Structures are given as structure tokens and as C-alpha cells.
């Protein structure tokens, strides 16, 4: 499902959600151990600067997670202004807030088709100057946080949903062809000699053709000798996804032998059909854990949920209603969190 349809569908959410008795009211809160202690791999959460100042969020994240992914502070729209000046303060604040709490940071994202700094417009058509500016941008961002991040989403969402292959409708691909992916990985490695470098995308568990195209791109990078160090599957998924799809996806991604990161997990009730899909959420979070646990330890890069509490979710903004995350609006663990812990016990 492409993003426009996804967000339009959420506009209809109230009906679907109320029909499933959803919203943040779930069955009685449950009691769980700290997720980061129960999981033999890192448990991550999306974080935004202002959330660190909110005690309920702060307490929850420090109790249950060992890693944060800046939800937007390291994206182009946050680190470079329209005049091309680098504006580091927001990303620096997320990194320092995380460090103060002993949380690791996963960088997201160096190159994304949907965020091209305005200064690149003047370079379109001049391949040499465009490539120089592109490489410099990647090196500057990756270089600033070298040694401070435990990995990067180097290129995000390079593959189309409709099965046509690689996204071509963006400044990166228009000016550099698909070499923009390899170049980004090479430049990120030049700036950060150690961080594992990930290729990340969404709907891989829902669209087998997209998953095949994603893996084809990953194999091309490996053939070209690009420093590809991992594969991220965002896993923004509806609660009525058919059984087995997530496991198939993670196994396919793991077939290349690289670490696999479930990088942006949320399980939407609003995107599911009418009816109560909270059991579906519990089933699917169990499937994610089982699939990650079935990987060799060196390939379990971790599970990152795209928000701590339901109200922190990008799917619950501008009045849209959903309950896609592990903790309710009062930071209490939901049955979905208990299902995750149960799956960890095997
Ligand atoms: C989203 C954030 O959650 C929103 O707050 C922001 O307005 C838009 O981006 N895939 C990604 C993430 O890789 O960066 C997106 O995050 C969600 C989809």
C-alpha cells in the first residue's frame, strides 16, 4: 500500500477503530519484564528530541529499550536548510540525550527519495557537480556521528511498491542513475569506517515482488563491492496481515547472510479491516519475534518499534486514531507487549 493510500485510509480510521473497540483502551494492562532484558538482541524505539523531556516517555524508554532511532532529526529536512547550511542542533540533541541515558543511537536516514535538500535543484543536469555535492552531504552527516551511531540507514525506500523495480522519480536517481545507492554506501563508509550500513524499505512483508526487487538491489550492491552491512525491513503492517508473511519476509532477507533489522515496527488496527484486530496484533508481534529468534545470532540486528506509546505513533497524528504500538497512552504495557515477551521465551 503506498503512503498516500495508507494515510488516506487512516482518515477513515475512527469507524474501523471504534468497531474493533480499539483506540488506546485495550484489555487490562499487563505486567512484563524490561524488554531489553528479555530480548537477546537490541530493542529499539523511534525518538524525537522533545520526548526526552517528558518523564513518562523517558522512564518507559530507559526501562525497556537500549537503542533509539531519531524519528526525523537526522533526515535532510532537519540537518540542512534551504540555503544549504547544515543545522546540527536537533540531531546533536537527540544523540546527547541518548548518550546521557546510556541509549545507543541508530542513524536514520542519509539518503531518501522523499527528502532532497533544495540546494540540489541548481545542480540537476550537471552530473559531476551533483555527485560531488551528494558525496559531500553523505560524508558530512555520517562523519559527524561516526563513533556515535551503531549503524545507519544509508538509503531508504529505493524500491517501488508497484513492482516496477527501482524508484526513478527522484533527484538522486535522475542525476546519478541507480549508482546513487552504491555511491551513498561508499561515501558513508569513507566517513564512518565502522558502522554497519543498511538498506531499508517498507511493505517488504506485504509485497513479495517489492521484496524480490529489494533483494536484487542488495545483491547488486554486494556484487559491486559496496559496503552493505545489513537489511532493514520497516514492517509498518496492518493487524490483519496473513499469517506467515512476516516470517517469509525475514527469512528471505536473511538469505543474503547479512544482519536483519526490523526497523520501524508498528501494527495498525486502523489499516486492518472492520472487526477487532487486537488478537492479530498479538499474533503478528509473535511472528516477528519468532522469525528474528530463528536467525543466527550475528544476523539479529534487533527490533525497533516506531514509537513508544500509541500516542507517539506517526499513525496517530492530526486526529487519526490507531493503537499500533506496545504501550498505551499512559505508558502501560499492552497485551501486545506481553505477546512479544511470551514469544521471546519460545
Ligand atoms: C516518518 C515519521 O514517523 C513522521 O514523524 C514524519 O513526519 C515522516 O516520516 N518510513 C520511514 C520513516 O523510513 O522515516 C518515516 O517516519 C515513516 C515511514
Per annotation, catalytic residue among 186, 205, 245, 264: 264
Whether residue 18 is contained in a domain is answered as no
* pLDDT > 90? residue 187: yes
Which cell is 332 given?
Answer: 502501560
The pLDDT mean for the chain works out to 93
Whether residue 15 is contained in a domain is answered as no
Q: Helix count (H) and strand count (E) of the chain?
A: 13, 10
Ligand 1, pocket-test mutation among 314, 315, 322, most atoms within 8 A of CB: 314
* pLDDT > 60? residue 3: no
The number of distinct structural domains making up the chain is 1
Whether residue 146 is contained in a domain is answered as yes
Whether residue 17 is contained in a domain is answered as no
Residue 236: its H or E element: strand 236-238
Per annotation, catalytic residue among 71, 73, 157, 287: 157
Task: Report the nearest atom of ligand 1 relative to the CA of 46.
Answer: 3
Distance CA 300, CA 293 (A): 7
Domain residues for 222?
3-9+29-345
Whether residue 129 is contained in a domain is answered as yes
Q: pLDDT tens for residues 36-64?
A: 999 999 999 999 999 999 999 999 999 99
Task: Report the nearest atom of ligand 1 relative to the CA of 306.
Answer: 3
Which cell is 150 given?
Answer: 551503531
Whether residue 22 is contained in a domain is answered as no
* Nearest residue by C-alpha to atom 5 in ligand 1: 314
* pLDDT > 90? residue 317: no
* Percent with pLDDT over 70 in the chain: 92
* pLDDT > 50? residue 5: no
Residue 230, domain CATH: 3.20.20.80
Instruction: For residue 231, name the pLDDT band (cuts at 50, 70, 90).
Output: very high
- Compute and round to an integer the Cα radius of gyration of the chain: 19
The pTM for the full model equals 0.93
Residue 118 DSSP code: G
Relative to beta strand 260-268, strand 236-238 is: parallel
Per-residue confidence (pLDDT) for residue 26, from 0 to 100: 59
Distance CA 45, CA 337 (A): 13
Other CB atoms within 10 A of residue 195 CB = 24
Whether residue 54 is contained in a domain is answered as yes
* pLDDT > 80? residue 1: no
Query: Is 157 among the residues known to form the active site?
Result: yes
Whether residue 21 is contained in a domain is answered as no
Amino acid at each position: 500500500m503506498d503512503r498516500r493510500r495508507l494515510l488516506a485510509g487512516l482518515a477513515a480510521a475512527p469507524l474501523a477503530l471504534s468497531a474493533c473497540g480499539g483506540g488506546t483502551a485495550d484489555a487490562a494492562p499487563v505486567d512484563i519484564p524490561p524488554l531489553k532484558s528479555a530480548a537477546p538482541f537490541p530493542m529499539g524505539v523511534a525518538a524525537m528530541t522533545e520526548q526526552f523531556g517528558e518523564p513518562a516517555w523517558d522512564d518507559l524508554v530507559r526501562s525497556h529499550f537500549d537503542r533509539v532511532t531519531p524519528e526525523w532529526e537526522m533526515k535532510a529536512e532537519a540537518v540542512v536548510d534551504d540555503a544549504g547550511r547544515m543545522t546540527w542542533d536537533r540531531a546533536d540533541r537527540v544523540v546527547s540525550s541518548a548518550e546521557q541515558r546510556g541509549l545507543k543511537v541508530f542513524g536514520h536516514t542519509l539518503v531518501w527519495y522523499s527528502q532532497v535538500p533544495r540546494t540540489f535543484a541548481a545542480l540537476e543536469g550537471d552530473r559531476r557537480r551533483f555527485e560531488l555535492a551528494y558525496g559531500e552531504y553523505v560524508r558530512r552527516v555520517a562523519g559527524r556521528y561516526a563513533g556515535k551511531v551503531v549503524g545507519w540507514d544509508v538509503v531508504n525506500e529505493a524500491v517501488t511498491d508497484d513492482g516496477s523495480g527501482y524508484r526513478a522519480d527522484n533527484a538522486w536517481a535522475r542525476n546519478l542513475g541507480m549508482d546513487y545507492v552504491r555511491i551513498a554506501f561508499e561515501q558513508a563508509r569513507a566517513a564512518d569506517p565502522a558502522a554497519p550500513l543498511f538498506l531499508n524499505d517498507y511493505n517488504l512483508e506485504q509485497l513479495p515482488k517489492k521484496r524480490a526487487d529489494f533483494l536484487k538491489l542488495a545483491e547488486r550492491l554486494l556484487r559491486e563491492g559496496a559496503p552493505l552491512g545489513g537489511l532493514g525491513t520497516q514492517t509498518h503492517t496492518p493487524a490483519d496481515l496473513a499469517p506467515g508473511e512476516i516470517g517469509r519476509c525475514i527469512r528471505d532477507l536473511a538469505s543474503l547472510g547479512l544482519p536483519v533489522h526490523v526497523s520501524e515496527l508498528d501494527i495498525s488496527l486502523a489499516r486492518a479491516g472492520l472487526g477487532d484486530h487486537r488478537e492479530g496484533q498479538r499474533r503478528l508481534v509473535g511472528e516477528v519475534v519468532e522469525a528474528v529468534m530463528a536467525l543466527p545470532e550475528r544476523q539479529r540486528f534487533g527490533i525497533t518499534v516506531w514509537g513508544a506509546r500509541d500516542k507517539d505513533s506517526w499513525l496517530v497524528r492530526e486526529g487519526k486514531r490507531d493503537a499500533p504500538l506496545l504501550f498505551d497512552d499512559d505508558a502501560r504495557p499492552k497485551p501486545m507487549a506481553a505477546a512479544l515477551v511470551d514469544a521471546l521465551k519460545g
